[in-house]
Structure 1
Amino acid sequence: MLKTDLLGDFYNQIKILCHEDALTDIHFHVALSGGLDSMVLLHLFARLRDQVENLQVCAHHINHGLSDNAEYWRDFCQQTCERLNIDFTCTHVNLRKQARTSLEALAREKRYASLINTMSKQSYLVSAHHQDDQLETVLLALKRGSGNTGLQGIRSKQALEIGYLIRPLLNFSRAQLEKYACHYQLKWIEDESNTDQIFDRNFIRHTISPLLKTRWPAIAKTVSRSASICQEQQQLLNEVAELDFSLCVCDPADITVINIDALKALSAARINNVLRYWFKLNNLKYPSVKQLSSLLNDVVLATQNATPKILFEGLTLRRYRECLYLVEDNANLVSDKPVIWRGQSKMSLSGGAINLNFHVSSESNNGIKINEDSLVEIYFRSQFSAKLMCTPIGRNGSRSVKKLLHEYNIPPWQRDSIPFVFVDEELTQAVGLWLCETQPVDDRELFLTIGFD
């Protein structure tokens, strides 16, 4: 026998998901599509508002413009909110189909972006995902061959860029929501696209799930339990990855570079775990099993002198000596001619990719010697011979620029973007790396300090 009134259990779920915050300090944003699930969610919040004084609730409807009924759905949602005395917002989004991106995924991405756009730090976005949605999500993950990350399914709470997303109906089945809606005589709309089984989720919903439930009536509940176990295990994997990554990262201030020797000291499973964690920290999608295998065999385990690279989502993963680098694929925008410094305090080079600041003083302050008539020019490596010799301060003997860049452990792809400072046609500095031994200018000498802005 299904429980008809879900309010008590719903209230408990809200308190669990918001356990550190007073409910009256939170602004709940209900994602309202007008379908059965979101209408039940809205109705439960309207009733909860009567129990919790000053509870702040609003509803946000996204109009994708994909259906001829889109305007009717918007009006239906607005009128329902007016009857329940709940603030209503509607946002229109334009969907442009992209290569290798499903329309369903694109709509979801645009929907969440629009919903989050109206939130604050104390906002909770609330969606109406339920237990049957969890079953569908896990089955889709199995179909794709997902690992533990995918088998987590839908999480009940997750942090957003602003605020949180919560799903307080995940413990309820669709059958419970239908019974509740019928008991309170709720009305809802049916999106005609939900019956189109060309979409994998709809095929699972209308063909696979009913068959599974006929054989195993509790399948949605047990799969939901498995997803919860995977979520707990993923949390443990993340904690291990965080510890391992702290041992592998070359500089905590630069998460794009990790040490290969430290990585190779781990087991294969922990290497893969760290690589996934590294990609996530750099806002990349998790690498596939095939990509992980290529990273391990072709990059991590490559010979010491090898410089392999793999393209990935606008970045290039490169190896240099004993480090792995995630490098942005920016075109080299070095100008054809050296740039003359004309006394300004700031200078932007390479299309804004490199910004320098300049400070002139009568005291050394680790600056280069100039006088009022000195010609100061900024060069890049391609604009002069790499065989040019100089003597960095504190070093014995001169070296070629090519050899010095190698000694300073500068990866090859970074060398063309290093600004070199010439004073009266003499190399005086590699910005951020070294100052050169230079001859005295005269009694009126000044000191010019140059650094990255």
Structure 2
Amino acid sequence: MTTGAEPDHGFAWPDVLCAPVRSLPEHSRLWVALSGGLDSVLLLHLAAFCHRSRVDVHAIHVNHQLQPNANETEAFCRTQCAALGIPLVVRRVSVNIGQAGGNLGGVEEAAREARYAVFEEILGPGDLLLLAHHADDQVETVLFRLIRGSGVAGLAGMPRARPLAAGQLVRPLLELERAELEHWAREAGIEWVEDPSNADQGYDRNYLRHTIIPGLKARWPGLARRVRHSAGACADSEFLNERLAERQWTECSKGSRALSVPALQALTVVEQKNLVRWWARKRGFRPPVVSDWSQVMHDLLEAAEDREPELREEGFRLRRFQGWIHLVPEQPEVPVSPVTLLPGEPLHWAYWTLTLESVANPESPSRPIRVSTRQGGERVRFRPEGSSKSLKNWFQEQAVPPWERACLPLVFAGSGDAGELIAIGDLWCSEQYSGGAPAAGWRLVVRRECD
């Protein structure tokens, strides 16, 4: 444990530290991510003494159970919060070192993912989570991402604020250097715990921190300011990239959920790359990392009509069908046997959610409603007096992609072979079960969960 000097009588927190905490956005609750280290303990004190109200301040400590002093650090955090009168939430997590690949960088990333999963679980609407990252952390992040070959989005570094779950993440100390924070922590007599892993240069960030960055600072004393300037320029560039992608999405999607091949062909490879990466991020996936975008886009856009080109990425694929490029998430498993859809109980089925809502409020549907996948030979009658049509032919007419046909929820009213097809995913629903006053007294609502 490290302890600062006893503060002089009448010690007052400097405005350079208090101002960022006083100017936080409006919020319902304020959370401080408390690791026990110098930076987070200092931030906890700033939230307690500089924030406009201590009533809404809470702290979160995530015990990764990786370091030999993990339990002692947890106890220290409890003591600190008790002394300040700040409620503390402690969560212990298990980091799967095996899945991390056995290397220190993988362990570090797995611990980060576990930590952020806790943050996302705890944050409620209107909550702010404060992280104690500072200017030296930003330098490490930018250099680390530069070495890994990141683009402008990565080289923009850590943002001062961003949405997180139902709340928002804020880094109020991001423009202050660690030496300055340590100076004021010692002046205030604050205690903190040193993480023993911080000295292990087997971690890439620690190697940068202890071996590389000191030499850079000695040569260029304004290193943090220089890096902040470059990171800001990269952030501006990424903002423009996103604005361009949004405009080109509108032009190339033509109101659909896919991208037109001819419209994509009219763009340069750089624009195609920017649009595809933006699309993946918008859908919640990591953007593709491709060594030769020219080849990938040529294969997707120029392959013969009888081919089925695709780009496989983590969690999704880009696939072409009838002149359109589709982003297809990995298909979730769907039940092998038919499932009964019960009133008021949403059924999650692959990319869809189905709900049966009462309108006329009968005791129960007159015929059981069941959901299944396509088995072959199904026919659909779109009007009571009309003739039936093969579902296979209808899929072809509607240009339903083959990968959707296999998992599309088909909804039947009735049992066994006598069942009537009343809905085809979110593509069609019988008027008996749709509209403001469905004749069956029940409304079937089918929503596609992915755009």
TM-score higher than 0.5: yes
Cα distance, 1:99 vs structure 2: 4.7
Q: Which residue pairs with 1:65 in the alignment?
A: 65
Distance 1:234 1:200 in 2: 26
What is the identity percentage for the equivalent residue pairs of Structure 1 and Structure 2?
A: 31
Distance 1:115 1:233 in 2: 29
Given the two structures, how large is their TM-score scaled by the length of structure 2?
A: 0.77
The answer to whether the Cα contact below 8 Å between 1:116 and 1:125 also exists between their aligned partners in 2 is no
Cα distance, 1:167 vs structure 2: 0.6
Choose from 142, 147, 153 the match for 2:146. 142
Q: Which residue pairs with 1:442 in the alignment?
A: none
Q: Which residue pairs with 2:80 in the alignment?
A: 80
- Flag the 1:408–1:172 CA change in 2: closer, same or farther, 3 A: same
Q: Which residue pairs with 1:28 in the alignment?
A: 30
SS in 2 for 1:111: helix
Choose from 6, 10, 15 the match for 1:8. 15
Given the two structures, how large is their TM-score scaled by the length of structure 1?
A: 0.77
Cα distance, 1:345 vs structure 2: 11
Q: Which residue pairs with 2:322 in the alignment?
A: 321
SS in 2 for 1:290: coil
Superposition pairs of residues 172-183 of structure 1, within 5 angstroms: 172-183=176-187
Once the two structures are superposed, residues 221-252 of structure 1 have per-residue CA deviations (whole angstroms, 9 ceiling, x without a partner) of 21012112222222222222222212223546
Deviates most, 148-157 or 30-39 = 30-39
The answer to whether the Cα contact below 8 Å between 1:31 and 1:126 also exists between their aligned partners in 2 is yes
Superposition pairs of residues 273-292 of structure 1, within 5 angstroms: 273-290=274-291, 292=293
The residue type equivalent to 1:299 in the other structure is L
Distance 2:75 2:134 in 1: 25
Q: Which residue pairs with 2:5 in the alignment?
A: none
Once the two structures are superposed, residues 337-396 of structure 1 have per-residue CA deviations (whole angstroms, 9 ceiling, x without a partner) of xx799999999798997858699x9xxxxxxxxxx9x9x9998655339xx9x9987xx9
The answer to whether the Cα contact below 8 Å between 2:63 and 2:74 also exists between their aligned partners in 1 is yes
- Structure 1 gap segments, 5+ residues each: 362-371, 437-445
The residue type equivalent to 2:136 in the other structure is D
SS in 1 for 2:114: helix
SS in 1 for 2:327: strand
Distance 1:289 1:167 in 2: 32
Q: Which residue pairs with 1:41 in the alignment?
A: 43
Distance 2:272 2:85 in 1: 54
The residue type equivalent to 1:220 in the other structure is A
Superposition pairs of residues 12-411 of structure 1, within 5 angstroms: 12-18=19-25, 21=26, 25-49=27-51, 52-53=52-53, 56-97=56-97, 98-100=99-101, 102-251=106-255, 255=257, 257-290=258-291, 292-293=293-294, 295-330=296-331, 335=336, 382-384=375-377, 402-411=392-401
Distance 2:299 2:228 in 1: 38
Q: Which residue pairs with 2:404 in the alignment?
A: 414
The answer to whether the Cα contact below 8 Å between 1:141 and 1:151 also exists between their aligned partners in 2 is yes
The answer to whether the Cα contact below 8 Å between 1:62 and 1:93 also exists between their aligned partners in 2 is yes
Distance 1:161 1:341 in 2: 33
Once the two structures are superposed, residues 408-446 of structure 1 have per-residue CA deviations (whole angstroms, 9 ceiling, x without a partner) of 21222233345497999799868446899xxxxxxxxx9
- Structure 2 gap segments, 5+ residues each: 1-10, 361-365, 431-438, 447-451
Distance 2:50 2:144 in 1: 34
The residue type equivalent to 2:45 in the other structure is H
The residue type equivalent to 1:384 in the other structure is G
- Flag the 1:269–1:378 CA change in 2: closer, same or farther, 3 A: closer
Distance 2:390 2:217 in 1: 74
The residue type equivalent to 2:120 in the other structure is I
Once the two structures are superposed, residues 33-53 of structure 1 have per-residue CA deviations (whole angstroms, 9 ceiling, x without a partner) of 11111122122223214xx35
Deviates most, 37-46 or 218-227 = 37-46
SS in 2 for 1:299: helix
- Flag the 1:236–1:377 CA change in 2: closer, same or farther, 3 A: closer
The answer to whether the Cα contact below 8 Å between 1:334 and 1:349 also exists between their aligned partners in 2 is no
Cα distance, 1:142 vs structure 2: 0.6
Cα distance, 1:64 vs structure 2: 1.1
Cα distance, 1:447 vs structure 2: 9.1
The answer to whether the Cα contact below 8 Å between 1:7 and 1:48 also exists between their aligned partners in 2 is no
Distance 1:391 1:345 in 2: 26
Distance 1:273 1:258 in 2: 13
The answer to whether the Cα contact below 8 Å between 1:36 and 1:188 also exists between their aligned partners in 2 is yes
The answer to whether the Cα contact below 8 Å between 2:37 and 2:194 also exists between their aligned partners in 1 is yes
Distance 2:116 2:95 in 1: 13
The residue type equivalent to 1:14 in the other structure is V
Deviates most, 297-306 or 190-199 = 297-306
The answer to whether the Cα contact below 8 Å between 1:31 and 1:60 also exists between their aligned partners in 2 is yes
Distance 1:203 1:414 in 2: 48
Q: CA RMSD in A?
A: 4.1
Cα distance, 1:13 vs structure 2: 2.3
- Rg larger for: 1
